[in-house]
């Protein structure tokens, strides 16, 4: 994954399976770190200093919570019975710092309901001002509201899905199956299993919101494409 651009960045670390540091981008020094519940454990494993700890803390190791508290983190505890997940609370907290970019680390913990909810959450209208990228295990999720660059090895699988309504005026470069001023509708599989044809691809959309999912696997269709 390419290095993040310099700017006002907030890193949100959430629970679930640990993320291999090799999958993570480089980020500018001084980025604010918000950890959601057991994301505190994940953040410490990555060597991150937690600035804000948030959630109901039903799954974090008690020693980890004590450690970040003693290190000066702001702690925002919520009841276990609540109307938002810990990740949503953490992204809402990130909004208070008026970031231009949010990097979410984690969110893939083996529960399909959590995974689907997290993907929908990242593309929510409430976060329309943010450049949002998530690294969930080996998979990278990029929210595209106007344009984005996608990086990876040649053949890297890329799936484009429209969320929260249809997306139109979609134009791509650097993908094996290009879209040229076309539309994707929610529930359509049209954008599934595309592939990078170079180390970088671009996606532009005129209206709507699209998530680009790179599951961290190499496809085979680029090998069969005529040279």
Q: How far apart are CA 121 and CA 209, in angstroms?
A: 12
CATH architecture of 147-224: 3-Layer(aba) Sandwich (3.40)
CATH number for 9-137: choose from 3.40.50.150, 3.40.50.970, 3.40.50.11540, 3.40.50.10240: 3.40.50.10240
What pTM value is reported for the model? 0.90
CB-CB contact of 190 with 175 (8 Å): no
**Tens-place pLDDT, residues 74-129:** 999 998 888 899 999 999 999 999 999 999 998 777 788 988 898 899 999 999 99
CB-CB contact of 88 with 119 (8 Å): no
> Which residues, 6 or more positions from 9, have their beta carbon under 8 angstroms from its beta carbon?
27, 28, 31, 32, 99, 100, 101, 102, 103
Q: What are the residue boundaries of the structural domains of the chain, listed by start?
A: 9-137, 147-224
Cα–Cα distance list, 146 to 37, 50, 173, 209, 212 (Å): 32, 31, 14, 8, 12
């Amino acid at each position: 994954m390419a290095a993040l651009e310099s700017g006002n960045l907030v890193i949100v670390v959430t629970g679930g399976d640990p993320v291999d540091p090799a999958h993570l981008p480089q980020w500018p020094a001084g980025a604010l770190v918000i950890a959601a519940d057991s994301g505190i454990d994940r953040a410490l494993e990555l060597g991150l200093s937690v600035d804000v700890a948030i959630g109901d803390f039903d799954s974090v190791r008690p020693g980890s919570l004590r450690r970040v508290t003693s290190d000066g983190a702001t702690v925002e505890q919520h009841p276990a019975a609540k109307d938002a997940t810990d990740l949503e609370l953490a992204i809402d907290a990130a909004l208070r710092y008026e970031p231009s970019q949010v990097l979410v680390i984690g969110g893939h913990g083996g529960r399909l309901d959590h995974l689907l909810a997290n993907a929908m959450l990242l593309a929510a209208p409430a976060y329309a001002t943010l450049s949002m990228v998530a690294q969930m295990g080996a998979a990278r999720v990029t929210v595209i509201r106007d344009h984005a660059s996608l990086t990876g090895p040649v053949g890297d699988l890329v799936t484009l899905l429209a969320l929260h309504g249809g997306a139109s005026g979609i134009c791509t470069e650097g993908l094996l199956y290009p879209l040229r001023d076309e539309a994707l509708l929610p529930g359509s599989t049209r954008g599934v299993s595309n592939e990078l044809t170079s180390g970088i691809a671009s996606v532009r959309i005129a209206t709507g919101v699209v998530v680009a999912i790179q599951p961290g696997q190499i496809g085979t269709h680029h090998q069969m494409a005529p040279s």
